[in-house]
Amino acid sequence: MLRSQSQSEKTRIVGRIEERRSLDDAMESPDAELLAIYGRRRVGKTFLVREHFGDRIAFEIAGLHGESTVRQLTHFFTALRNAFPKAIVTPPSSWLEAFGMLETIIERGPRASEKQVLFFDEFPWLATRKSGFLSAFESFWNGFASRRRDLVVVLCGSAAAWMIRKIIQARGGLHNRVTRRIRLLPFDLSETRAYLEHRQIRFEDMQLSKIYMSVGGIPHYLNLIKRGKSAAQSIDQLFFRGEAMLRDEYGQLYAALFEEYATHESIVKALAASWQGLARDELLAKAKLKSGGGITKAIEELSQSGFITATASRGRVAKDTIYRLSDEYSLFYWHWIARSAKGESWQSKATSSRYKTWCGYAFESLCFKHVQAIKRSLEIGAVETTVSSWRFVPSKKDEEGAQIDLLIDRADRCTNLCEIKFSEEPFVITKAYAAELERKVRVFCQRTKTRNTIFLTIITASGLKPNQYSNQLISSSITLRDLIR
């Protein structure tokens, strides 16, 4: 008989409040539940399931990456013997036979007083080509598991696009069968701070932002950080010194998630070199790729997996959507690791003018990920908004061009035009920069013919130093601290 995991046993999980609530709801539901959990590699999917359900997991198997059907079946057989040591099983010759064995074992076993969990980790890896795995699972769910009110079946996968296409949006036997789905995202800044403090590691705001801009909110990467090290020392340890655990991670990252991963890597590399983002045609030209269904699929897969972000271009058609690389690790890799030699010191790089420039662009990417925190700071969290970018490229000599990376159009007929600046000291608006801001607002209003009230908003790492220009122009000032709260 399985027992409930006490609340005190769940304290290793940091954050994930909504996700855990969904898992609890599945356990308390009077019906069988089929859960789909997806998210990029290393984001903590397996940890969440294991830690939350604990010993209510009656059976668990994780797919083997790149292995044959025969090896996967052997692995399934081993998992059956480990989970049910008293059951008499023989190696299955097909997936239909394998799931038949699982049905028999569950059917013959005693009914648990609480729901039990069947956990299929890295589910896409089990579904090797022409193996019949997916159809066998469909039969298992539709003909057996869906009738058992004491079962929660959890399907977990890092290949997010595959999970969406084959499970959540399935057209065959699993059409509309998923009862709950969870897209597990990296930690935001606030959750990253909480996770590190849970491990007794404390950084002040600036140091925390530099860690985040290097590895993002990926729990596995954050778990490699040692106590008593500065941000610069931590980055040195992770990427340059000794074993440098994250130096070779890039070579495995995309290959483990996507079949045609060379295309995905070409897209990522092109976006890494274009901080302001690229429209589709620009992206194809930069990556030296030809338009077609394969490219569309790769862009969709990268977007669904959280590596790139598509931002609408205000007032433009879909083809003008701006794509940006939003995975901090990949950004850091292409700017600092790909062309560096192992054993180099990060300490000298971290004080260079090149690093200061890089921080400015990386901070922009960080702000895009924290739009909800920006809205809360502006006290418009409950207001309906549209987030976009905007740029005007002049075609005539007498025209003025302008680019605005972050616009927040509001249902109350106002627009926050956001400028993003990174500096370790309070940012100073000079006379020249004030003129540039006024020009941006003027060009934007002329070209868009907006009737909204424009609020010029500045987002800085260390605050804004008041002077005559900031007093005249800036409606709202948001700091790094506001993003972390």
Can you tell me whether residue 391 is helix, strand or coil? strand
- Domain 251-335 class in CATH: mainly alpha
CATH number of 375-484: 3.40.1350.10
Render pLDDT for 396-455 as a digit per residue (tens, 0 to 9): 888 899 999 899 999 999 999 999 999 999 999 999 999 999 999 999 999 999 999 999
CA 387 to chain centre: 18
Six-digit token string for 170:
């399935």
Render pLDDT for 77-99 as a digit per residue (tens, 0 to 9): 999 999 999 998 899 999 999 99
* CATH H superfamily, domain 7-183: P-loop containing nucleotide triphosphate hydrolases (3.40.50.300)
Alpha helices in 391-475 (DSSP H): 431-448, 468-473
pLDDT beyond 50 at 1: no
Report the C-alpha gap between 94 and 375 in whole angstroms. Answer: 53
**For the chain, which residues make up each domain, given as ranges?**
7-183, 189-247+342-363, 251-335, 375-484
Can you tell me whether residue 30 is helix, strand or coil? coil
Six-digit token string for 313:
């271009």
Alpha helices in 412-458 (DSSP H): 431-448
pLDDT at 53: 96
pLDDT beyond 90 at 385: yes
In sequence order, the 6+-apart residues with CB closer than 8 A to the CB of 446 are none
Render pLDDT for 256-297 as a digit per residue (tens, 0 to 9): 899 889 999 999 999 999 988 898 999 999 999 988 878 999
In sequence order, the 6+-apart residues with CB closer than 8 A to the CB of 91 are 73, 74, 77
